[in-house]
Structure 1
Amino acid sequence: MTETHIHGPHPSGGYILDELSVGMVAEKPVTVTEGRIEAFAEASDDFNPVHMDEAFASKTAYRGRIAHGLLSASFGSAVVGTILPGAGAIYLSQTLAFHRPVRIGDVVVARITVAAVDEVSARVTLRCEGYVGEDLIMDGEAIVRVPRRRRPARD
């Protein structure tokens, strides 16, 4: 097995199209907390009791509260917007499949891998995965538009 090089944010805040290549990877670990679930419920207006009410959730197939799937998916958005490609990347589409529930206290590692670079359209296809430990909890594919060049600095 080859070792994967994990990329950090570009010094400018974002990679431009010419700096991206297939196989580049970035990760971000995020702990799921009660506060994050509450804030996400407030922002999304999704107060499903499987996320908010332990008594209700304990009677479901999950046997307790689980985080919103899109909360976990948003951690991938954080990688795309702040690390790879970073500032200037614009989401065009995203597919998602959820495989396991995420609970309060879990650390989700959002992993983004450059799968394809389209020089003509300035679009990049990204493989998006989320892990809790070794368990794949979600995956999918995003297509983002990436700047071709950096804006000149203003005085």
Structure 2
Amino acid sequence: MEIVTQHPSGGYILEELHVGMTAETNILVTEQRIQQFAEASDDFNPVHMDEAFASKTAYRGRIAHGLLTASFGSAVVGTILPGAGAIYLSQTLGFHMPVRIGEEVLVRVSVKSVDQESARVELDCEGFVDGKLVMDGVALVRVPRRRRPAKD
């Protein structure tokens, strides 16, 4: 595993990517994030929004939307690895544990394969809370072959 940071240009091009490149970030799940995600997605399921309701479920309290947690992977893909210019084509997801308000999610995205011919890259995406896997999946993204020339 080779940890990388954001490319100076904002995004890696296809020829710069190789298997094993990995980017990580930590994102805190807050009340505000859950509220904003509910508004953006129109998902106001009370297991996410209503403590009284959620306390009577198997989760014994409110949990974050699974797709909110998954969107943290999108943040890494769109801003760090591959970064600017990467376009999602597909994403598989598995949710293994609930994520709660106040928990910090370590998101890790790693290059799994690079197809030079189709300009497509497979990325392993994982999320951890306190070292425990909470979600995982594989993203398929299209990556630019070259950078746009700078405008004068």
**TM-score with structure 1 setting the length:** 0.97
Matched, 1:12 2:9: yes
Identify which of 28, 34, 37 aligns with 1:31: 28
Q: Deviations over 1:67-126 (max 9, x none)?
A: 000000000000000000000000000000000000000000110000000000000000
Matches of 1:28 and 1:38 in 2, distance apart? Answer: 22
Q: Which residue of 2 aligns with 1:67?
A: 64
Gaps of 5+ in 2: none
**TM-score with structure 2 setting the length:** 0.99
Identify which of 38, 42, 49 aligns with 2:39: 42
Matches of 1:89 and 1:42 in 2, distance apart? Answer: 26
Q: Which residue of 1 aligns with 2:144?
A: 147
Runs of 4+ in 1 over 2 A off after TM superposition: none
Q: Which residue of 2 aligns with 1:138?
A: 135
Gaps of 5+ in 1: none
Indicate if the aligned counterparts of 2:126 and 2:136 stay in contact, CA closer than 8 A: yes
Q: Which residue of 2 aligns with 1:85?
A: 82
Matched, 1:54 2:51: yes
Within a 5 Å distance, the mapping from 1:120-135 to structure 2 comes to 120-135=117-132
Q: What is the deviation of 1:19?
A: 0.3
Aligned-residue CA RMSD (Å): 0.5
Partner-residue secondary structure (3-state), 1:71:
helix
Q: What is the deviation of 1:133?
A: 1.3
Give the total of aligned pairs. 152
Indicate if the aligned counterparts of 2:2 and 2:20 stay in contact, CA closer than 8 A: no
